[in-house]
Amino acid sequence: MSPAPLDLLQGTLDLLILKTLSWGPAHGYAVARWIQQLTGEVLLVGEGSLYPALHRLEERGWIESEWRLSEHNRRAKVYSLTNRGRQQLRAEAATWGRFVEAVTKVLRANAQPA
């Protein structure tokens, strides 16, 4: 059996959403499915996490929305990245990189520092 899906670490959801939207406008449901597919079901974004996050990002001016019809002929709120959102994405990606690097340093060490 495949391993259980992981809980998201706080802060990474914003980064993931911004990143997926950098590929072009999309509605929330699609964002969640893309993340799920790309990670091989490792990251599952629940709708109760997704929609609050989208509202939050929009409120901060990093994304903006418009009602449209989806490929499946359903009403859908399509989000796109704003310029400030693009900036934010760069910043958060850099922060994520620094963070992973730092944690990795600790995990790789096999003795206390002098």
The rounded distance, in Å, linking the Cα atoms of 40 and 60 is 30
Helix axes 12-21, 83-108, angle to 10 degrees: 130
**Does 55 interact with DNA (rule: CB under 7 A)?**
yes
**Does 91 interact with a second copy (rule: CB under 8 A)?**
no
Helix (H) or strand (E) holding 27: strand 26-27
**Does 29 interact with a second copy (rule: CB under 8 A)?**
no
Q: In terms of CB distance, is 35 or 54 closer to a second copy?
A: 35
Q: Which residue has the tokens 């900036």?
A: 87
Q: In terms of CB distance, is 6 or 69 closer to a second copy?
A: 6
**Does 56 interact with DNA (rule: CB under 7 A)?**
yes
**Does 88 interact with a second copy (rule: CB under 8 A)?**
no
Q: Are 44 and 83 in contact (CB under 8 A)?
A: no
Q: Are 28 and 77 in contact (CB under 8 A)?
A: yes
Partnered with residue 80 across adjacent β-strands are: 64
Catalog residues that contact a second copy under the rule CB under 8 A. Answer: 3, 6-7, 9-12, 15-16, 19-20, 23-24, 26, 30, 34-35, 37-40, 42-43, 93, 95-96, 98-103, 105-107, 109-113
Catalog residues that contact DNA under the rule CB under 7 A. Answer: 7-8, 10-14, 27-30, 45-49, 51-56, 70-78
